[in-house]
A = this chain, B = another copy of it.
Amino acid sequence: MGAAEIGIGIVGYGAMGKAHSYGYRVAPVMRRLRDRPRVRVISGRDREKVAAAATAYGIASSVSDWRDLVGRPDVDIVDICTPPGTHAEIAAAAAEAGKAVICEKPLAVTYAQAASAVAAVEEAHVLNAVGFNYRRLPAVSLMKRMIDEGAVGAVRLLRATWLSDEFVDPAIPFDWRFDRSMGGTTIADLGSHLIDMATWMAGPIAEVSGQSETFARERSGRPVTVDDASAALARFESGASGVFEMARTAVRRPCDFTIEVNGDRGTLVFEYARLNELLYGDGDDRPELYGMRRIRAEHPSHPYTADWWPIGQGVGYGSSFVNQLGDLLDRWPEGPWEPDFAQGAAVQAVCEAIERSAVERRWVTVAEIVG
């Protein structure tokens, strides 16, 4: 077939390892990539389970220590799909080994860790990217494009909410998600996506006022060290105002995130439960047509859609990984990749500002965190 192959190593075989495996398999079918990705190895601590996953995902080999993966000469890109608390160390090792690094979000569980990961990839001069995959949904990408094109005018208000019921049941036993140092906060787990999209669309956030709550403070007799639910007011550097909320204790809300932008000339609303649509209220529309358009974000003129299905058929969650990995592979090996670790760290700084603000009960600037 003549095309070069790009060697991939995936660290972690859980939900994200599966999603990325899916992405690498599908990207070439949907897009005319010059070079073809080949996942050559996957790692996981349970030797048997990772071997089974490798078989299922069509990956030739598996290892039980990620250190055996990052140094392999047939691996060009290390793709990190492990719990957040492990990201920075793995990323630094991969960078040091000269590998390009793709890291799931959040980049880290503290800003300091995130900054160290940025330093590592910059020092090693390797391509790096953070897995803010929702950006690559056609409708979200269209929303960004429309804002850039002036569809809403100057952004004034932005609100973003993520409601899940993952932690509702107090009987769920303790695991790493409830451990601040391994899973990170709900602010970072759910909110990092929202903050990434918000700052991508409306520019940097200057300061925040947050509140946090943990309703089930103990699980399996161990203290829960993360928040169940948090919210924040935000001021963007542009002067726009924002409101964010993220909760894992909203009954019968599986993954309902929404993001809305009100500019001085228009409104755009994205609701994840309607992921193939984008609502657009155009202030310049004829008054007789007052209301919003429900754009079916599947027109061939829309981002990513020409690669996929005929209009109206709809894509799902998986498409975000295909589009993300496709974009990165398309730019291999020159780059640039985006969003990169620097953006991952910038998002982490906002998360940490919210967390600190909730503890100290005062407005906290992002500059305070970045130092």
Identify the A interface with B (CB < 8 A). Answer: 1, 3, 15, 18-19, 21-22, 25-26, 28-30, 32, 36, 52, 55-58, 152, 156-157, 159, 161, 163-165, 168, 209-211, 213, 215, 229, 231-233, 235, 239, 241, 243, 245, 247, 249-256, 262-267, 272-277, 280-283, 285, 287-296, 298-299, 301-302, 308-319, 361-363
Contacts and interface: CB of A to CB of B under 8 A. Distances in A.
15 contacts: A15-B309, A29-B57, A32-B56, A232-B233, A251-B281, A251-B282, A254-B296, A255-B310, A274-B274, A276-B316, A287-B299, A290-B299, A313-B316, A316-B318, A362-B362
A164 to B, nearest CB: 7
Nearest to A299: B290
Contact of A209 (B15, B157, B233): B233
A229 B319 CA distance: 32
Contacts of A168: 264, 283
Contacts of A157: 229, 247, 249-250
A251 B229 contact: no
B29 A22 contact: yes
Nearest to A294: B291
B296 A291 contact: yes
Nearest to A315: B316
Nearest to A149: B288
Nearest to A55: B1
Given A213-B241, A252-B267, 13 more contacts: A15-B310, A21-B29, A32-B52, A164-B312, A251-B264, A251-B267, A252-B266, A252-B281, A252-B292, A253-B267, A290-B299, A292-B294, A361-B362
* Residue among A26, A56, A287, A291 having the largest count of chain B Cβ atoms under 10 Å: A291
Given A211-B209, A309-B19, A312-B254, A249 B231 contact: no
A20 to B, nearest CB: 10
Contact of A215 (B58, B156, B159, B313): B156
Contacts of A58: 28-29, 36
Given A168-B283, A275-B314, A263 B288 contact: no
A293 B289 contact: yes
Contacts of A19: 309
A298 B25 contact: no
Contact of A26 (B15, B25, B229, B255): B25
Contacts of A282: 251-252
A13 to B, nearest CB: 12
Contacts of A256: 312
A26 B26 contact: yes
A225 to B, nearest CB: 19
Contacts of A254: 290, 296, 298, 310-312
A211 B233 contact: yes
Contacts of A3: 55
A254 to B, nearest CB: 3
A283 B28 contact: no
Contacts of A274: 274
A293 B296 contact: no
A67 to B, nearest CB: 25
Contacts of A318: 308-309, 315-316, 318
A55 B285 CA distance: 38
A173 B25 CA distance: 36
Contacts of A315: 316-318
Contacts of A156: 213, 215, 229, 249
